[in-house]
Structure 1
Amino acid sequence: MLSPTGERLLRQLADGRFHSGERLATALGLSRSAIWKQIHKLQTLGLDIQAVSGRGYRLAQPLERLDEEAILTALDPELPRPRIEIHTCLPSTNTYLLHQMAEDGGASVCLAETQTAGKGRLGRRWVSPFGCNIYLSLSWRFADASLSAGLSLAVGVAIVRALSGMGFPQLALKWPNDVLWQGRKLAGVLIEAVSEYQGGCKVVVGVGLNLWLPAKAAQAIDQPWVDAYTILGRIPPRNLTVARLLNHLLPLLIHYERGGLEPWLGEWRRWNCVLGRPVRVVQGKEQFDATAVDVTREGLLRLIDLQGRERLLAAGDVKLRLQGDGHGTADRQR
């Protein structure tokens, strides 16, 4: 967690410029030794703080903190205003919303500067250094619980629409929930649903988007990854990026109950990098090679295996590896 002293120190460093230990100590009313200890604590949150003799300390990149007012200002005025909560640190934004979903309907948004147990598919960890990226969860209720099955594909399309509008080139979608750039993972989606006794369900849409990954944090990622800084040569404003994502995700959820996945499938097929490709499927102890053929209206992946048999895959506990392109990735960080 970020202590009050750590918060004050981070505000001093947020501009990305060098600040001497002596000046920081004077500003915060601490000793230089105490400043060093606070710097170390900030580094444990994933912050890339550089220390240069004779110059002091600085963040490797300026820090833009998440801000509700800035997000709402950039949100499409035609959209209903969601409830937005911003946390300094959470175990997981998805887990938080699963337990905090309001009873009066509408959308709730949870954002965190860092996650200590960021969640991905198959129980894997999403690397979440402080203040660098976007860790966003959005809750909604559906009367028809079956709609959540193919939702991750539509969410992927919404994310690509938002990022393409911000100048991101050459994006692709990998079934069931990855946004790729040149075979490297830029963003991931995690859908979690809880059935209700009336027959509906609570759904939480989790989105992790890499804007800038410090080298030390990136060491924990065991698959090809990419961030916005690598693609664009700059870090997009975080609050604006959140608003752009919500400008596409909120209309999706509002209209999804009526149309389901089918209206999104044509666009998903255009963005996908899976169909027509050889793939390797790992499902529990079973592993087989096949060719990806299509996706169904329910979001299932249709395959033809090496024996010519048709198989249908639900996302579930399945890993999908693209074969033969040099960019094959196991579904690790999600």
Structure 2
Amino acid sequence: MALSRPLLELLSDGHFYSGNQLGERLGCSRAAVWKMIQALESAGVDIFHVRGKGYRLARAVELLTAERILDGMPVGGRQSLSVLDVLFDVDSTSTYLVERPLRMGENGHACFAEFQRLGRGRRGRHWVSPLGGNLYFSLRWRFSRGVAELGGLSLAIGVALVRALRDEGVEGLGLKWPNDILLHGRKLAGILLEISGETTGPCEVVIGVGLNVRATEFAHEAIDQPWSDLESSLGRRVGRNALAAQILTGLIAAARQYDIDGLDSFRDEWMAADAFSGREVVLQTPSTETSGVVQGVDENGALILSLKNGTRQHFYSGEISLRAVSDRLANV
């Protein structure tokens, strides 16, 4: 069944509403309301059912709107966007933008969604996307640089996210090569890039970001790795529209800067936040496994490992999984 934004909007204040009240407001039967409630719950919305009172969200929800996001951005950031879409229900924000190339004269095209049915992470993994609690968004941006010069872009985007989150008061942030943001060692956000264009340029890149803002029972059951969320860390509610505006502004600024300077403007900052710097790790590809000590990243964004034989090897992102040896041993 399709997800009902009008129903979620009615419930978003956190108050109780009976089935009759909701039916009257929505112009449908109590049975139809019940089916819509079940659809929202299946999408990850925590809803209380109390006899004699009705339905209430476990926690009030601030729904995203394009107007509020744009109002929170500086003039320069707003002018850099040709289009900002805020969708309620979509397969994937990145797929949505991949199918919509920038037209001549357009700058960036951003898309946020309350719910993703087929959210994607690296290496073909599914990104768990419960409804109305986190931030799922993508930015399509045109770069004058070619594909070969965009190897460090995911690192620059990681730095931009860390900057925005620190401005929100978040402490304990770290970066994991090539595309994860950690909070106290647990995954907080992920980045996925999809590049199309010429080897020497220009290129268009869809920058996809998933950020855990609020923990839900649905997420606890669905996510199979250590993870964290902003509200649990900060001990308070986070305004999602204001945060979306802040992060989108930072990503636009980072994309512009990267197109001018490449990774040079971000490399030192990325290495300062590297959660695995100086640690022994294992890199796994579909066919090989390499152990070594992390020694930062090079000017192209490749991870540098110091191997046991005394040599250094550079690894470029792709079908690679990075894990600390200490974490691996702990799970044996």
CA distance in 2, matches of 1:109, 1:221: 26
> 1:324–1:198: structure 2 CA closer, same or farther, 3 Å change rule?
closer
Matching of residues 278-317 of structure 1 within 5 Å: 278-317=280-319
Correspondence for 2:56: 58
Selected match of 1:162 from 150, 155, 164:
164
> 1:220–1:327: structure 2 CA closer, same or farther, 3 Å change rule?
farther
Percent of counterpart pairs with the same letter?
40
Correspondence for 2:9: 11
Correspondence for 2:143: 142
Matched, 1:199 2:201: yes
Matched, 1:23 2:21: yes
1:100 maps to amino acid? R
User: 1:91 touches 1:115 (CA, 8 Å); kept in 2?
Assistant: yes
- For residues 274-313 of structure 1, the C-alpha deviation after alignment (integer angstroms, 9 at most, x for no partner) is 1211101111121122111120000000102233332111
Correspondence for 2:228: 226
User: 1:2 touches 1:88 (CA, 8 Å); kept in 2?
Assistant: no
Alpha-carbon distance, 1:250 to partner: 0.9
1:93 maps to amino acid? T
Correspondence for 1:36: 34
Alpha-carbon distance, 1:143 to partner: 2.1
Correspondence for 1:87: 87
Alpha-carbon distance, 1:240 to partner: 0.5
RMSD (Å) for aligned C-alpha atoms: 2.0
1:11 maps to amino acid? E
> 1:286–1:47: structure 2 CA closer, same or farther, 3 Å change rule?
same
User: 2:258 touches 2:265 (CA, 8 Å); kept in 1?
Assistant: no
Correspondence for 2:173: 171
CA distance in 1, matches of 2:329, 2:5: 40
User: 1:147 touches 1:257 (CA, 8 Å); kept in 2?
Assistant: no
Stretches of structure 2 lacking an aligned partner (at least 5 in a row): none
Correspondence for 2:96: 96
CA distance in 2, matches of 1:327, 1:182: 19
CA distance in 2, matches of 1:328, 1:160: 28
> 1:285–1:230: structure 2 CA closer, same or farther, 3 Å change rule?
same
1:85 maps to amino acid? D
Stretches of structure 1 lacking an aligned partner (at least 5 in a row): 330-334
> 1:90–1:25: structure 2 CA closer, same or farther, 3 Å change rule?
closer
Alpha-carbon distance, 1:71 to partner: 0.8
Alpha-carbon distance, 1:175 to partner: 0.9
Alpha-carbon distance, 1:44 to partner: 1.6
Matched, 1:74 2:72: yes
1:114 maps to amino acid? F
Alpha-carbon distance, 1:328 to partner: 8.4
Choose 90-99 or 189-198, whichever is displaced more. 189-198
Query: Alignment length, in residue pairs?
Result: 327
Alpha-carbon distance, 1:266 to partner: 0.9
1:121 maps to amino acid? R
TM-score by length of 2: 0.93
1:84 maps to amino acid? L
Correspondence for 1:332: none
CA distance in 2, matches of 1:272, 1:169: 14
